[in-house]
Amino acid sequence: MPNLDPVLEEMISSFPLKKVARGRTIIYQGEIPRSSYIVVNGTVRIYSLNTRGDESNISFISTGNIFPVEVVFEKNTSCLHYYEATSDVEIAVIPTEILRKEFNNNIKLSNIILDSIATQYVGAKIHIQALEQTRAKNKILRILQYLVLRFGEKNKAGNWLIVLRLKQHDIANMVGVARETAATELGKLKKLNIIEYDSFHYTVDIKALSDLIGTEEWKDIEIS
């Protein structure tokens, strides 16, 4: 199993694996789930819908993450968000009561769950920071920063490929701008050779992005 912690590998060996096709919803907002899930393969999008039916991407999670984490701490709680497969996904299905018991009795597993919570928190925090920006350009820069840090893989040219299947619509939803606005700003970044993209994948020049954001924080962050 790819990049799974041995503790998770041991745990999921006793439970069924489920394959979910790209685009299918795994959990609905407001649903009270009876099972929790561990991502074995693929990527899951976390998003919400407002009363008008508008989508807002919250974060993405991948191999080794556990969801929905809120049910570990509170019984019969409803999910705050939707969880959707953004690629073909394989997940382990674990009854919530069992996961809750293991969380209380297994220190290593509880640390993994807390790490998963931290991952989702960081995604939500950067999402909020991006929304707080007043200019569309800054919103796009911040969300690209997060996506590279969370899902970047270095290529032979020294740039970073965001290993998510993303449309301009997805990036626009994450920062609350129109798709046309996101397309314009992404096009400007492409002309500056800061990013390259095709229909679904983005490659980012980290140094150029850092310079444009106007911070030195990339120097202090190790991306592996």
What mean pLDDT is reported for the chain?
A: 85
Extents of the domains making up the chain: 6-129, 134-220
pLDDT of 127: 67
Secondary structure of the chain as H, E, C letters? CCCCCHHHHHHHCCCCEEEECCCCEEECCCCCCCEEEEEEECCEEEEEECCCCCEEEEEEECCCCEECCHHHHCCCCCCCCEEEECCCEEEEEEEHHHHHHHHHHCHHHHHHHHHHHHHHHHHHHHHHHHHHCCCHHHHHHHHHHHHHHHHEEECCCCCEEECCCCCHHHHHHHHCCCHHHHHHHHHHHHHCCCEEECCCCEEECHHHHHHHHCCCHHHHCCCC
Q: Output 129 or 204, whichever has higher pLDDT.
A: 204
Span 179-212, pLDDT tens digits: 999 999 999 999 999 999 987 889 999 889 888 8
Tens digits of residue pLDDT in 111-128: 888 887 777 777 667 767
Listed residue (109, 69, 65, 110) closest to 90, CA to CA: 65
Confidence check: pLDDT of 55 > 90: no
What spatial distance separates the first Cα and last Cα of the chain, rounded to whole Å?
19
Burial of 93 (0-12, 13-18, 19+ CB in 10 A): middle
CATH topology match: 6-129 vs 134-220: no
Please state whether the peptide bond connecting residue 68 to the residue before it is cis, i.e. omega within 30 degrees of 0. Answer: yes
155 touches 117 (CB < 8 A) = no
Give the CATH fold of the 6-129 domain. Answer: Jelly Rolls (2.60.120)
Q: What is the CATH number of domain 134-220?
A: 1.10.10.10
Closest CA to 7 of 89, 93, 101, 102: 102
| 60 close to 150: Cβ distance less than 8 angstroms | yes
Tokens found for residue 130: 């991006």
Q: Return the pLDDT at 179.
A: 92
Tens-digit pLDDT profile for residues 146-183? 888 888 888 888 899 998 888 898 888 888 889 999 99
Q: What percent of the chain is predicted at pLDDT more than 70?
A: 91
From residue 78, give the alpha-carbon distance in Å to each of 29, 68, 72, 110.
8, 10, 12, 21
